[in-house]
């Protein structure tokens, strides 16, 4: 069955450092991958989308890579800030369909 794995353990980093979160998947060939941010008590908020034919995408301090051979995406936050502390979810989907499946998320704590 399709499976998405994100680090279940929280990631603790110091302010100013680069945070790197991992999303691995199995039994799936996604056409796109998305990253969302979720704060406690709130719904997920979209951050970035990367398609299968794209290797890397950037948006301000965020960078996403997508390796369809390794079946892995890496999500980087450079110059991290305490305000970046949240849970980050990766999500996968296929062309022509809108059935997006989500990973369980990784909690990020950025210490001042």
Partner 1 sequence: DAGVIQSPRHEVTEMGQEVTLRCKPISGHDYLFWYRQTMMRGLELLIYFNNNVPIDDSGMPEDRFSAKMPNASFSTLKIQPSEPRDSAVYFCASTRGGTGWATEAFFGQGTRLTVV
Site for partner 1, rule CB under 8 A: 31-32, 34, 41-46, 49, 51, 89, 93, 95-105
- Nearer to partner 1 (CB atom), residue 89 or residue 110: 89
CA 88 vs. chain centroid, Å, equals 6
Smallest distance, partner 1 to C-beta of residue 27, A:
16
- Nearer to partner 1 (CB atom), residue 79 or residue 104: 104
Give residues with Cβ within 8 angstroms of 60, minimum separation 6. none
- Nearer to partner 1 (CB atom), residue 82 or residue 105: 105
What are the counts of helices (DSSP H) followed by strands (DSSP E) for the chain?
0, 11
Which residue is it, tokens 């406690």?
Answer: 40
Smallest distance, partner 1 to C-beta of residue 112, A:
27
- Nearer to partner 1 (CB atom), residue 50 or residue 110: 50
Smallest distance, partner 1 to C-beta of residue 14, A:
27
For residue 37 the two structure tokens come to 């941010």
The DSSP element (H or E) to which 3 belongs, if any, is strand 3-6
């Amino acid at each position: 069955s399709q499976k998405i794995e994100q680090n279940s353990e929280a990631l603790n980093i110091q302010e100013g450092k680069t945070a790197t979160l991992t999303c691995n998947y199995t039994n799936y060939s996604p056409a796109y991958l998305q990253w969302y941010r979720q704060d406690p008590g709130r719904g997920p908020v979209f951050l970035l989308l990367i398609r299968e034919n794209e290797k890397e995408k950037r948006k301000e301090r965020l960078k996403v890579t997508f390796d369809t051979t390794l079946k892995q995406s890496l999500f980087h936050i450079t110059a991290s800030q305490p305000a970046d502390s949240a849970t980050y979810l990766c999500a996968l989907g296929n062309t022509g369909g809108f059935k997006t499946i989500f990973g369980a998320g990784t909690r990020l704590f950025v210490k001042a």
